[in-house]
């Protein structure tokens, strides 16, 4: 079903329901991080292309906003079915393009189909409210506010490379069900997967122009789209650096920002260390640590640290290192710039006295899983987000020291606490400055209808199906003023 979207691997862009070339006719090559082969080429759009696309999105949104919710939900359900039907082809593209292993790529697509179905159903429960005037001093029940939730207009959806289908859909589907049109700008590395996704919605019957795509170099068009006066909402997931930049230049446009993290796993004395070790190892090294919710530091009470490390060591040794096509756990990182950065953090820690427990081996972008003990707060790895398979262990004396170090981070996405003591679990949860605290589990975003938010440099706004729909609608009040008799 994807024959329209490319010609000899040169992918087009979705404009008004049709797949077209950019006016520049320039393309960008996308190579696989797994084997460096050419995956395809994408259109390098310019500012004129963007202006034309935004006019089209604006026009299409007006009709879409009038389309009954039931009809919108029906189209989304069709999209979910089509996604499931094409799971093999799409998950293969994810493996090729962003180097995710086969089982994780399949589970990303499956999870996304479920996300779309849930969103379609949730839309049918979108409710307004009535508020009586008499609730406020000096007013009577003759004044009634009828509040409805209405679409915002054009949502600019900008997604990162690491979940090219799921983190794109988590913006597109809630925006669409709410009656907005979407201008979808995928990460350049991840764009081909994103274009497949756009065709899924297109083939399901999303009307022409309601979903359009933008691809191109962010250095050329990034600032232009985010500052475009006709964009009504920016829904962004990516690094704190880019997110902060967008927030600074975009002006008075509502936005949702899901940014970087430095999730801590706090392990207390009475934790079940077998379970904690399993969760921490999976949480830190899955997809080579290229997840916002990866465990990015362990804060463990000194007296149990040796035992925890002894339990983690064989689990790390058992991780399969290799190619995404062999379903390896540890795969080449997305690019060599990121791999170099992770290596710098490892080198800095080792130079400052950290103890290497395992790893610090590299072949090109493929970094072996690395565990560092005796990391202290003078080392960069204690604070910076690596987005790679390296985990620092910071030993602490007590729970308060763990909380203090956890909160000293600029980030505040998620954190975990491992303990059998419910009181300590709640005490830590209460004190941690993060969007979510996991008790006895690794940090993770799902299930996707749960609220997911970051505080401090980890973002603003709350994702999660109902929360995302709510964020991408505005409140409109019609006030009835009844006469006294
Ligand atoms: P990134 O480099 O910040 O890129 C994210 C997106 O922003 C890409 O689509 C990128 O396009 C685009 N972009 C870059 N500069 C732009 C500009 N000036 N204007 C508009 N768009 C611009 O992030 P990434 O490397 O893809 O993803 C990794 C980061 O995302 C990590 O920090 C991770 O923690 C974070 N993340 C957070 C969450 C969360 O929910 N909190 C989830 C996933 C990932 P190009 O690709 O064309 O540059
Ligand atoms: O990379 C960030 C994603 O939002 C993480 O999602 O916890 O399901 O892997 P996940």
Out of 104, 238, 247, 260, give the residue to mutate to test ligand 1, the one with the largest number of ligand atoms within 8 Å of its CB. 238
* Mean pLDDT (the chain, rounded): 97
Over range 45-64, report the average pLDDT.
98
Say whether both 115 and 215 belong to one domain: yes
Over range 159-166, report the average pLDDT.
98
Whether 205 is in a domain gets the answer yes
Give the ligand 2 atom nearest the CA of 443: 7
Residues with CB under 6 A from ligand 1: 158-162, 167, 185, 187-188, 218, 222-223, 226, 237-239, 242, 245-246, 258-261, 292, 385, 387, 413, 454, 459
Give the ligand 2 atom nearest the CA of 444: 7
Say whether both 252 and 289 belong to one domain: no
Whether 484 is in a domain gets the answer no
Query: Annotated catalytic residue: which of 97, 108, 122, 292?
Result: 292
> What pTM did the predictor assign?
0.98
Out of 108, 190, 242, give the residue to mutate to test ligand 1, the one with the largest number of ligand atoms within 8 Å of its CB. 242
Over range 122-135, report the average pLDDT.
96
Whether 176 is in a domain gets the answer yes
Beginning with the edge strand found earlier in the chain, give each strand of the sheet holding 370-373 in spatial order.
355-358, 370-373, 390-396, 297-301, 264-267, 414-418, 436-439
Dist. CA 404–CA 164, nearest whole Å: 35
Beta strands in 378-472 (DSSP E): 390-396, 411-412, 414-418, 436-439, 452-453, 455-456, 459-460, 462-463
What's the CATH number where 9 sits?
3.40.605.10
Give the range of the structural domain holding residue 284, as residue numbers without chain letter. 264-447
Query: Annotated catalytic residue: which of 97, 258, 385, 444?
Result: 258
The residue nearest atom 31 of ligand 1, judged by CA position, is: 239
Q: Tens digits of per-residue pLDDT, 189-232?
A: 999 999 999 999 999 999 999 999 999 999 999 999 999 999 99
What's the CATH number where 410 sits?
3.40.309.10
Dist. CA 216–CA 222, nearest whole Å: 8
Whether 454 is in a domain gets the answer no
Q: Tens digits of per-residue pLDDT, 219-265?
A: 999 999 999 999 999 999 999 999 999 999 999 999 999 999 999 99
DSSP H/E element including 80: helix 69-85
- Count how many domains the chain has: 2
Say which ligand is closest to the CA of 223: 1
Whether 452 is in a domain gets the answer no
pLDDT given for residue 485 in this prediction: 56
Say whether both 238 and 186 belong to one domain: yes
pLDDT given for residue 484 in this prediction: 74
Token pair 């560092």 is at which residue? 372
CB 200 within 8 A of CB 83: yes
Q: Tens digits of per-residue pLDDT, 280-334?
A: 999 999 999 999 999 999 999 999 999 999 999 999 999 999 999 999 999 999 9
CB 346 within 8 A of CB 381: yes
């Amino acid at each position: 079903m994807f024959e329209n979207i490319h010609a000899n691997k040169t992918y087009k862009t979705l404009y008004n329901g049709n797949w077209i070339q950019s006016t520049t006719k320039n393309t960008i090559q996308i190579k696989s991080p797994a084997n460096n082969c050419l995956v395809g080429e994408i259109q390098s759009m310019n500012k004129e292309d963007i202006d034309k696309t935004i006019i089209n999105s604006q026009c299409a949104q007006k009709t879409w906003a009038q389309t009954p919710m039931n009809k919108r939900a029906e189209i989304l359900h069709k999209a979910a079915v089509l996604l499931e039907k094409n799971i093999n082809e799409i998950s293969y593209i994810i493996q090729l393009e962003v180097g995710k292993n086969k089982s994780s790529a399949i589970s990303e697509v499956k999870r996304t189909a479920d996300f779309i179905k849930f969103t379609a159903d949730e839309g049918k429960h979108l409710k307004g409210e009535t508020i009586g005037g008499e609730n406020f001093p000096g007013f009577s029940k003759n004044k009634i506010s009828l509040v409805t939730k209405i679409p915002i207009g054009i949502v600019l959806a900008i997604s990162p490379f690491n979940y090219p289908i799921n983190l794109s859909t988590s913006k597109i589907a809630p925006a669409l069900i709410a009656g907005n049109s979407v201008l979808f700008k995928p990460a350049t590395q991840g764009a081909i997967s994103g274009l497949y996704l756009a065709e899924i919605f297109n083939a399901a019957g999303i009307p022409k122009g309601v979903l359009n795509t933008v691809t191109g170099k962010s250095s050329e068009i990034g600032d232009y789209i985010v500052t475009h006066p006709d964009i009504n909402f920016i829904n962004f997931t990516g690094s704190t650096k880019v997110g902060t930049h967008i927030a600074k230049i975009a002006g008075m446009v509502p936005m949702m920002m899901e940014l970087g993290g430095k999730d801590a796993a706090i392990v207390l004395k009475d934790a079940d260390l077998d379970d904690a070790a399993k969760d921490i190892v999976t949480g830190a090294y899955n997809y080579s640590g290229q997840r916002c919710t990866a465990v990015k530091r362990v804060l463990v009470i000194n007296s149990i640290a040796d035992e925890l490390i002894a339990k983690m060591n064989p689990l790390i040794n058992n991780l399969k290192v290799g190619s995404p096509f062999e379903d390896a756990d540890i795969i080449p990182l997305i690019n060599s710039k990121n791999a170099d950065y992770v290596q710098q953090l490892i080198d800095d820690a080792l130079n400052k006295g950290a103890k290497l427990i395992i790893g610090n081996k590299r072949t090109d972008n493929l970094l072996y899983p690395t565990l560092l003990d005796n990391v202290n707060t003078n080392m960069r790895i204690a604070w910076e987000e690596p987005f790679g398979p390296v985990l620092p262990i910071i030993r602490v004396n007590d729970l308060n020291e763990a909380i203090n170090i956890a909160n000293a981070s600029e980030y505040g996405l998620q954190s975990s606490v491992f303990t059998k003591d419910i009181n300590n679990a709640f005490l830590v949860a209460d004190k941690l400055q993060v969007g979510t605290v996991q008790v006895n589990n690794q940090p993770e975003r799902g299930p996707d209808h749960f609220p997911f938010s970051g505080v401090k440099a980890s973002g603003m706004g709350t994702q999660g199906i109902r929360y995302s729909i709510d964020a991408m609608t505005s409140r409109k009040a019609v006030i009835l003023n009844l006469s006294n008799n």
